[in-house]
Amino acid sequence: MRILQTKLPEVLLIEPTAFGDDRGFFLETWNGQRYTEAGLDVDFVQDNVSFSQKGVLRGLHFQHPQAQGKLVQVLAGDVFDVAVDIRIGSKTFGQWIGEKLSVENHRQLYIPPGFAHGFCVLSETALFSYKCTDYYHPQTEGGVLWNDPEVGIDWPVDHPQLSAKDKKYTCLSDIPADRLPRIGEV
């Protein structure tokens, strides 16, 4: 397993070791002891799976308070996965990182609490897995508009399929400060 830093130091790109042959592959997706030894010492309390069609964009979602850290990966298909730093006081506030995650590259992305998260589906369909560090709290959920021009995410889709909720999110600069986490509190 390799853990790689991204341009957002707290967001980690993880490349688990896959063992493959002509029958397929075997991959360990989580081992608490191994990940702790590699520097990712987190407790996960909830697992989620989503299934989406090509062109679907989910996000950019966050919770505050009760922020969730997420370890995400693709179980089938491929996606473009994005994390945005929304922590007030962070030197990387408003910056984003995007990575292609696929069943072929086996990559995982760890998005810590205090970041908004979203992805768009590049393949015909995608099965996406999330391990979360806190439970879903609908009363604290929020979001950033997927195409916020100030954040400037270079999505590989021009006209994504969005949920009604995701269409209503605002730009990061329009979210009241008390709805956003602060550096050091998450």
Backbone angles phi, psi at 27, to 5 degrees: -145, 125
In angstroms, rounded to a whole number, what is the distance separating the alpha carbons of residues 102 and 124? 12
> What is the Cα 6 distance to its own chain's centre?
13
Please confirm, yes or no, whether 130 is among the known catalytic residues: yes
Full DSSP string of 62-76 = EESSS---EEEEEEE
Dihedral Cα 20, 38, 134, 45, nearest 10 deg: 60
Residue 16: Cβ within 10 Å count: 18
Please confirm, yes or no, whether 35 is among the known catalytic residues: no
Catalytic residue among 61, 117, 136, 169: 61
In angstroms, rounded to a whole number, what is the distance separating the alpha carbons of residues 79 and 120? 6
Catalytic residue among 106, 110, 117, 130: 130
Question: Which residues belong to the active site?
Answer: 61, 130
